[in-house]
Amino acid sequence: MNRTLIKNGHVVSMDPQLGNLPRADILVEEDRIVEIGPDLAVTDAQVIDAENCIVMPGLIDTHRHIWQGALRAVCADWSLLDYVRGIRMNAALAFTADDMYAAQYHGGLEAIDAGVTTVADYCHNLNTPDHAYESIRGLKESGLRTIWSYGFNRPPLEEHAFSSLDERLSFARKLAKEEFSDSSALVTMSVSPEETLFWGDDPARGVAQFELARELNVPLFWHCNSSTELNTGKRLRDVARLNELGLLGPDLVLVHLHSTDMDEWKMIADCGAGVSFTPDTELQMGMLWPSTVEAHTLGIPQSYGADITSNNSGDMFIALRMALQVARCRKLEQINGEQLKIGVPYTGEDALAWGTIEAARAIGLEDKIGSLTPGKQADLLLLRTDSLSMVGWDRSNPAGTIMSQCTARNVDTVMIAGKVVKQAGHMKADTAHACRLLEDAHEKVLSRIGGAEALLLDLGESDEKFASIAASADPGA
Ligand SMILES: [Zn+2]
């Protein structure tokens, strides 16, 4: 049996019963945590010295489009409309199945290196069956725990590999059988239906995509209420629409949500769905502030994501810190700064939960990941505390220290399902190979488009134009 003893770490368990243990060991057998406590009497295990380290659960990113890693930072000064024009309607078309493999494999390693042990990968560039197969292969080879989402979005290709929605649905069923028959595997399946903008007047198209997830018994990740209608400024009321169609449920993870009315927030709380916010892209691209305060007030399990590394880094410490500070500012604004005298709203502990145990709850995996708890999967990371950026840290508030001070550079060691994938600052995988593959994909995608200057297609500025492009793009619409 494979046994590993992580010795003498400052354990931040995120398990309400265990709490923080300033000096403790963690025994891992195969893929699970079996025991946590001081001075465990174990002699036959491989030892990882965690002296001068915080040991915490692996971070969980519940919203990322990993495939866009091949276009790192191209969106750095873009709006949401620029993003739709530049990536969804343009660059997406230029990705081959090989490019998808490179981006997914590299993206899996990038996440692991940064202490992110689980990603919900919203894979919405499945232009051919091979795009799907290769994106899944890249993830499986990377060793990242991933919930891979079968995205229904359709870039406006000239020739389509799928001639109808029925073909897309059948292919999803085939993939579920071929690639995801083992629900205990590291990479599992979910479904991401198209946004309501692409449904047209008849909801049947969208409903079929939701029903597929229920048929396959997999969760749903869905962009909704991200903005108001471009031309009219009207609220989209996507959540109310799902409610009318009887499609709300606890298997949903709703993403973005800034433009959500109070009656819709109550519908989300009542149906037991989770939510995911992406501070970098929301704050930048007019999706406005992450709805941390609303979710917290109603007790809706909330979680966070990097969204797109074509815009911002995949560093979840930064995403969570941004969420924490924005939520504090919004709350303090509501109460006119009154609380300045007695501490601030929301703590580092809250933010760390949003990236670990609460994220696991939001995506329905609370029994499996999200905390260091005997019986759960051994997904964890070690942060060095004797480095220049951490030495002298506040032992009385480890979560506050992590959330206010750490970035991905503090991640020393990472374990996923009991397997050490990064140790003493070094990745186990051949990262140079992954970087070469990604650089090659980057160059090829850009050259097919005609260079970075040609990314921003001129599509005009109306919703109808996008909708008509999307509709004409799909013969089965
Ligand atoms: Zn997204």
Q: What is the pLDDT of residues 382-418, one digit of tens each?
A: 999 999 999 999 999 999 999 999 999 999 999 999 9
For position 43, which CATH number holds? 2.30.40.10
Residue at which a domain ends, from 388, 403, 424: 424
pLDDT at 337: 63
What distance in angstroms lies between residue 286's CA and the mean position of ligand 1's atoms?
Answer: 13
Centre of ligand 1 from the C-alpha of residue 77, in Å: 17
CA of 124 relative to ligand 1 center, distance in Å: 9
Give the total number of structural domains in the chain: 2
Pairing assessment for the beta strands 116-123 and 59-64 based on DSSP bridges: parallel
In a domain, 179, yes or no: yes
Q: Cα of 307 to ligand 1 centre, how many Å?
A: 5
- Asked if 51 and 63 sit in the same domain, the reply is no
Question: In this structure, what CATH number is given to the domain that contains residue 299?
Answer: 3.20.20.140
Looking at the structure, tell me whether residues 137 and 49 fall in a common domain.
no
Q: 265 and 337: one domain?
A: yes
Distance 235 CA to ligand 1 centre (A): 19
Is 152 part of any domain?
Answer: yes
Mean pLDDT of the chain: 94
Query: Does 477 map to a domain?
Result: no
> Taking 80 as the threshold, does the pLDDT of residue 368 lie above it?
yes
Condensed to tens digits (0 to 9), the pLDDT of residues 26-67 reads 999 999 999 999 999 999 999 999 999 999 999 999 999 999
Confidence at 476, pLDDT banded by 50, 70, 90: very low
Distance 34 CA to ligand 1 centre (A): 36
Sequence-ordered list of residues with C-beta below 8 angstroms from that of 474, at least 6 positions apart, any chain: 154, 160, 165
Within a domain: residue 143? yes
3-state secondary structure of 455: coil
What's the pLDDT at 227?
83
Give the pLDDT confidence of 109-138 residue by residue, as tens digits: 999 999 999 999 999 999 999 999 999 999
Tell me how far the alpha carbon of residue 277 lies from the centroid of ligand 1, in angstroms: 9
Task: Kindly give, in sequence order, each residue whose CB lies less than 8 Å from that of residue 205, ignoring residues fewer than 6 positions away.
Answer: 165, 194, 198, 199, 477
pLDDT > 70? residue 339 = no
For residues 97 and 105, is the Cβ–Cβ distance under 8 A? no
pLDDT of residue 475: 35
Q: Report the separation in Å between the CA atom of 305 and the middle of ligand 1, taken as the mean of its atom positions.
A: 9
Let me know: does 120 contact 63? Beta carbons within 8 Å: yes
Q: Give the dihedral sign, CA 307/313/317/323.
A: negative
Helices (H) and strands (E) in the chain, counts: 15, 17
Taking the centre of ligand 1 as the mean of its atom positions, its distance from the CA of residue 81, in whole angstroms, is 13
Give the pLDDT confidence of 288-299 residue by residue, as tens digits: 999 999 999 999
Shared domain for 340 and 385, answered yes or no, is no
454 C-alpha to center of ligand 1: Å?
22
Cα(306) to ligand 1 centroid in Å equals 9
The rounded Å distance from CA 94 to ligand 1 centre is 19
Q: Is the pLDDT of residue 458 over 80?
A: no
Q: What is the DSSP letter of 116?
A: E
Q: For tokens 């709006």, what's the residue?
A: 79
Report CA(339)–ligand 1 centroid distance (Å).
34
Give me ligand 1 centre to Cα 64, in Å.
6
Task: Report how far ligand 1's centroid is from the alpha carbon of 223 (Å).
Answer: 6
User: Of 210, 198, 90, 126, which Cα lies nearest the Cα of 471?
Assistant: 198
> In angstroms, what is the span from residue 32 Cα to ligand 1's centroid?
31
Distance 195 CA to ligand 1 centre (A): 11
Ligand 1 center to residue 144 CA distance, Å?
19
In a domain, 333, yes or no: yes
Domain that holds residue 321: 59-362
Judge if 44 and 121 occupy the same domain. Answer: no
* CA 283 to ligand 1 center in whole angstroms: 13
Q: What pLDDT band is residue 153 in, cutting at 50, 70 and 90?
A: very high
Is residue 232 located within the same domain as residue 245? yes
Crossing angle (nearest 10°) for helices 316-334 and 398-405: 100
Calculate the dihedral angle through the C-alpha atoms of 353, 356, 357, 359, rounding to the nearest 10 degrees.
Answer: 100
Shared-domain flag, residues 276 and 392? no
**262 & 402 share domain:** no
Q: How many angstroms separate the alpha carbon of residue 54 from the centre of ligand 1?
A: 31
Same domain, 151 and 255: yes
Rounded distance from Cα 337 to ligand 1 centre (Å): 33
The answer on 170 and 35 residing in a single domain is: no
Mean per-residue pLDDT for 355-375? 98
Confirm whether 451 is domain-assigned: no
**Tens-place pLDDT, residues 61-100:** 999 999 999 999 999 999 998 998 899 989 999 999 999 9
What is the pairing mode between strands 20-29 and 53-57? unpaired
Position 420 scores a pLDDT of 98
Mean per-residue pLDDT for 171-198? Answer: 95
Domain contains 71:
yes
Q: How high is the pLDDT of residue 466? A: 56
Give the model's pLDDT for residue 155.
Answer: 83
Distance 48 CA to ligand 1 centre (A): 37
The pLDDT of residue 16 is above 50: yes
- 473: pLDDT strictly greater than 50: no
Residue 32 lies inside a defined structural domain of this protein:
yes
* Cα–Cα distance, 375 to 232 (Å, whole number): 52
Closest CA to 80 of 196, 231, 235, 227: 227
The CA 276 to ligand 1 mean position distance, Å, reads 10
Give the burial string for 385-420 (b: 16+ CB within 10 Å, else e). Answer: beeeebeebeeeebbbbbbbbbebebbbbbbbbbbb
Which parts of 117-261 fold into alpha helices (H)? 129-142, 165-179, 204-216, 238-244
The Å distance, Cα 63 to ligand 1 centre, comes to 6
Write down the pLDDT at residue 187: 98
* Whether 108 and 40 share a structural domain: no
Sequence-ordered strand ranges (E) for 225-371: 252-256, 274-277, 302-304
Q: What is the pLDDT of residue 1?
A: 85
Cα(361)–Cα(272) distance, rounded to whole angstroms?
10
Is 230 in the same domain as 288?
yes
pLDDT digits (tens, 9 = 90+) for 211-259: 999 999 999 999 999 988 767 788 999 999 999 999 999 999 999 999 9
Q: Can you give the pLDDT at residue 470?
A: 46
| CA of 224 relative to ligand 1 center, distance in Å | 10
Cα-to-centroid distance, 437 and ligand 1 (Å): 24
